[in-house]
Amino acid sequence: MRTWYKVLFLSLLTLVLVACQGEEAEQKEDANSESGEDLKKVQLFLDWTPNTNHSGIYAAKDQGYFEEEGLDLEIMLPGEVPTEQIVATGKAEFGISFQTQVTQARAENMPVVSIVAIIQQHTGGYYTPTDKGIKTPKDFEGRVYGAYGSELEKSMLQAVMKSEGGDASKVDVVQVGNTDYFIATQRDVDFVNIFYAWTGIEGEVRGADMNFIKTIDYAPELNTYSPVIITNEEMIEQDPETVQAFVTAVLKGYEYAIENPEETADILIAEEPDLNPELVKRSQEWLSPLYQEDAPVWGTQEEKRWVDYAKFMYDENIIEVEVDASAAFTNQFIENAKK
């Protein structure tokens, strides 16, 4: 009898151990699933150093929105190859671009498509030390402009100056590339072109005494979507489910950033500790209300603005062919995400 009890006890113990091992294996499988083994890997190439333009993407990643949609997103820093080219050739599924670059790319037969607008209104403009005495675009005449080096810049400068009766041919244009703007404008450059959400706020943090001339105050036709998120036509045609999942997650991320600027700044700082925390926090506070602004839904784009800007680039001989603006962007994924 005693032997029989021993056998029964050992049998029950074995069953318990097997059950525990099975439960442990199941938990491990679930953990592997949650860690990304069952998620679809996709890449997004940034346009520049991580900054508050990108905050909604980092927020979506931090909050698990991509995982909820079945995606494992890898955020890639830009390199020597333009993001538009990387996305157009399918080397990455998504990228950060601008309406200007997308229009240029479409004119060169690159099949990139803007799927959301990150910011509704163009926040760029011309930045100059106050002691230079430049108050309006007319004052650019006879001054030195620190440019990136594109022909488009000259056309944009003329569009801004003509509203004040100015002549861009009287501006001395020099290339400054990625030079520190604050150092450049204290030397031989009188004004530069910036995005206020980052460089303008950086000036505030530095205590620089600067004057900002907003582009669209003088040239509404230059109110481009800057920046946008792009994919390519093949992704839209052959894998719309992945594009939809990505846009749905990103929408949630930017809605989070709109509602929670302080927390979103902390997320970006944690992911990119080399950034100036004060700059990130002040920039995020300034930018969060502008992501959606007066748009019915964050990310939506107006066809008229794409048409008008494509015409501007064609009329200014920046592009050699007319671009079908309706094919350069789509609202279908952002609309589906809100259904």
Question: Averaged over 239-254, what is the pLDDT?
Answer: 98
Is 318 found in the same domain as 172?
no
- Give me the residues paired with residue 231 across strands: 113
pLDDT tens digit sequence for 119-146: 999 999 999 999 999 999 999 999 999 9
**Domain housing 96:** 40-121+225-337
pLDDT tens digit sequence for 272-296: 999 999 999 999 999 999 999 999 9
Select from 191, 207, 222 the last residue of a domain.
Answer: 222
Estimate to the nearest angstrom the gap between the alpha carbon of 276 and the chain centroid.
19
**Spatial contact of 135 and 301, defined as CB atoms under 8 Å apart:** no
Whether 178 is in a domain gets the answer yes
Select from 174, 204, 222 the last residue of a domain.
Answer: 222
Predicted confidence at residue 179, as pLDDT, reads 75
Task: Kindly report the average pLDDT of the chain as a whole number.
Answer: 90
**What is the pTM assigned to this prediction?**
0.88
Whether 55 is in a domain gets the answer yes
Residue 252 has pLDDT above 50, yes or no: yes
Greater confidence, 306 or 32?
306
Is 234 found in the same domain as 90?
yes
Is 200 found in the same domain as 154?
yes
Predicted confidence at residue 9, as pLDDT, reads 41
Residue 102 has pLDDT above 90, yes or no: yes
What three-state secondary structure class fits 266?
A: helix
Predicted confidence at residue 33, as pLDDT, reads 44
Q: Please, which pLDDT band fits residue 339 given cuts at 50, 70 and 90?
A: confident
Give the CATH number of the domain where residue 288 resides: 3.40.190.10
**Spatial contact of 242 and 40, defined as CB atoms under 8 Å apart:** yes
Predicted confidence at residue 23, as pLDDT, reads 54
Question: Averaged over 297-309, what is the pLDDT?
Answer: 97
Whether 286 is in a domain gets the answer yes
pLDDT tens digit sequence for 147-204: 987 889 999 999 999 999 999 999 999 988 777 888 888 888 999 999 999 999 999 9
CB-side neighbour CA atoms (13 Å) of 152: 17
Question: Averaged over 295-300, what is the pLDDT?
Answer: 96
Domain count, the chain: 2
Whether 32 is in a domain gets the answer no
Predicted confidence at residue 310, as pLDDT, reads 96
CB crowding 178-216: b at 16 or more within 10 Å, else e: eeebbebbeeebbbbbbbbbbbbbbbeeeebebbebbbb
